[in-house]
Structure 1
């Protein structure tokens, strides 16, 4: 059982740290001098991210989820 725990901790730390890095990179897109975007784009991005977070969280509760593949603004 300890081996499973060690594997979980290792993978969880790696994946969460990668997700944090990527979320910070998404935040960099807010630079209006470098990028053009609208409020609809922002809502789509954060709605999609929240939906995926909710789906991942529900999986820990035993609920099945219907994941969408990929993300596209257009």
Structure 2
């Protein structure tokens, strides 16, 4: 049982830290001096992120979740 726990901690820390880093990089896209985007683009990005967070949370509650979809703005 301890091996499963230590593996969970190891993977969770690495994956959550990687996700936090990537979310910060997404935040960098808000720089209108470097990028052109519409408010609708921003809404789509955060809707997709929230959907995936909700699906991940549901899986911890025993729900198998939906199928994987790749994000696109188009």
Normalised by the shorter chain, which TM-score bucket?
Answer: over 0.9
TM-score w.r.t. the length of structure 1 is 0.97
Counting only pairs closer than 5 Å after superposition, residues 26-41 of structure 1 correspond to structure 2 as 26-41=26-41
Q: Deviations over 1:8-54 (max 9, x none)?
A: 00000000000000000000000000000001100000000000000
Instruction: Give the superposed CA RMSD.
Output: 0.7
How many residue pairs end up in the alignment? 74
> Gaps spanning 5+ residues in structure 2: where?
none
Q: Which stretch of the first structure deviates more once superposed, 21-30 or 59-68? A: 59-68
> Gaps spanning 5+ residues in structure 1: where?
none
Contact 1:59 1:65 in 2 (8 A): yes
Residue 67 of structure 1 and its aligned partner are, at CA, apart by 2.9
